[in-house]
Amino acid sequence: MAEIYLVRHGKTRLNDKQIIIGHLNPSLMKSSLLETKRLALKLKDLDFDVIFSSDLKRAVQTSKIILKYLNYKPKLVLIPELREINYGKLSGKSKKKILLDYPLYHKDINFLNPEGESFKQLYKRSTSFLKKIAPKYDKILFVTHSGCIRALYSYCNNKNLKDNLNLTLGHDKIVKCIVTKKRKSAVFI
């Protein structure tokens, strides 16, 4: 059985301004460092075997802050499989403008972001990684992005991703997934 904890990276200025980030690579806001520290303190007593983090800067910075406060210091592995959805040409644009110009944005899992990927592709990428990693460890931390968390939460709860496309995820939330050969589940803790 694997326990997999999912956390979202700390807040960036682009998050604050409601700008689509995707694979853009902004740093954390200084004001989000305290929130990230509080998140780390919630995790400090969990003895993770490993931390897998998106290789995007905001997730890496969050991972390093968390690692600093953990009682046990596991290995940190940076991987592209936990990156945010690739919004392609929509990256850097206002969410309000995108909703006007692309009515299927965040409504249809098959909507292919121009020069990017669909939520269906993100789901396949992130769940394939989870399935590969879960049998190898007992307790894992994923530091990732809202798109991946929505996909993995849906997978672990046997729910359609479409139902969770707009699931609200703060930068201070933790999702605990249990994955065994016979069952999966995910809850916010």
Tens of pLDDT, residues 126-165 = 999 999 999 999 999 999 999 999 999 999 999 999 999 9
Rounded to whole angstroms, the Cα distance separating 91 from 140 reads 30
Task: Determine the 3-state secondary structure of 139 from DSSP.
Answer: strand
Say what the pTM is.
0.97
Burial class (CB in 10 A: 0-12, 13-18, 19+), 134: buried
62 burial level (CB within 10 Å; 0-12, 13-18, 19+): buried
Determine contact, residues 157/183, Cβ cutoff 8 Å: no
pLDDT one-digit tens code per residue, 117-137: 999 999 999 999 999 999 999
Beta strand 174-179 pairing with 139-144: unpaired
At 127 the pLDDT is 98
Which residues on neighbouring strands pair with residue 6, listed in sequence order?
A: 142, 175
Tell me how far the alpha carbon of residue 103 is from its chain's centroid.
Answer: 24
Residues 17-72: tens digit of each pLDDT:
999 999 999 999 999 999 999 999 999 999 999 999 999 999 999 999 999 999 99
